[in-house]
Structure 1
Amino acid sequence: MTSRICTSLALAIALTAAATSRAAEPPRVSPATDAAAAGLVEIRTVSPQIQLDIRYAGANNFTGAPVPGYQAPACYLLAPVAQALAKVEADLRSAGYGLRVYDCYRPVRAVQAFMAWVHDPREQSRKAVQYPDLDKPQLLADGYIAERSGHSRGATVDLGLLDCRTGACVVMDMGTDFDFFGVRAHTETPGLTRAQRGNRQQLLQAMARRGFANYPQEWWHYTLRPEPDPGTAYDVPVQ
Structure 2
Amino acid sequence: MKKTILLIFSILFLVSFQKKDTLPNGFSYVDNKLPTIITEIRYHSKDNFVGKKIDGYEKSICILTNEAIAALDKIQKELITKNLGLKIYDGYRPQQAVNEFVRWARVLNDTIMKQKYYPNVKKKNLFRDGYIASKSGHSRGSTVDVTLVNFETGEELDMGSPWDFFGKESWVKNPNLTPKQKKNRQTLQKIMNKHGFRSYSKEWWHFTLKNEPYPKTYFNFPVK
Is TM > 0.5 for Structure 1 vs Structure 2?
Answer: yes
Whether the 8 Å contact between 1:174 and 1:200 is mirrored in structure 2 is yes
Q: Which residue of 2 aligns with 1:51?
A: 38
Of residues 109, 125, 128, the one that matches 2:115 is 128
* Large movers: runs of 4+ above 3 Å: none
Of residues 162, 182, 185, the one that matches 1:200 is 185
Whether the 8 Å contact between 2:67 and 2:212 is mirrored in structure 1 is no
The one-letter amino acid of 2:202's match is Q
The one-letter amino acid of 2:114's match is K
Whether the 8 Å contact between 1:98 and 1:163 is mirrored in structure 2 is yes
Q: Which runs of 5+ in 2 are unaligned?
A: 1-20
Higher RCO, 1 or 2 (CA under 8 Å, sep at least 6)? 1
Of residues 138, 143, 150, the one that matches 1:156 is 143
Q: CA RMSD in A?
A: 1.2
Q: Which residue of 1 aligns with 2:132?
A: 145
The 3-state SS of whatever aligns with 2:23 is: helix
Is residue 225 from structure 1 mapped to residue 192 from structure 2 by the alignment? no
Q: Distance in 2 between matches of 1:198 and 1:213?
A: 18
Of residues 44, 68, 93, the one that matches 2:80 is 93
* Matching of residues 1-239 of structure 1 within 5 Å: 36-164=23-151, 167-239=152-224
The 3-state SS of whatever aligns with 2:203 is: coil
Gap change, CA 1:185 and 1:178, over 3 Å in 2 = same
Q: Distance in 1 between matches of 2:22 and 2:105?
A: 28
The one-letter amino acid of 1:72's match is K
TM-score, L = length of structure 2:
0.88
Whether the 8 Å contact between 2:88 and 2:146 is mirrored in structure 1 is yes
Whether the 8 Å contact between 1:35 and 1:236 is mirrored in structure 2 is no
The 3-state SS of whatever aligns with 1:62 is: coil
Cα offset, 1:122, TM superposition: 2.3
The 3-state SS of whatever aligns with 1:70 is: coil
The one-letter amino acid of 1:237's match is P
TM-score, L = length of structure 1:
0.83
Q: Distance in 1 between matches of 2:153 and 2:116?
A: 27
Whether the 8 Å contact between 1:43 and 1:86 is mirrored in structure 2 is no
Deviations 1:162-218 (A, max 9, x none): 022xx3221110001000000010011111000000000000011111101110100
Q: Distance in 1 between matches of 2:29 and 2:118?
A: 31
Identity of aligned residues (%): 39
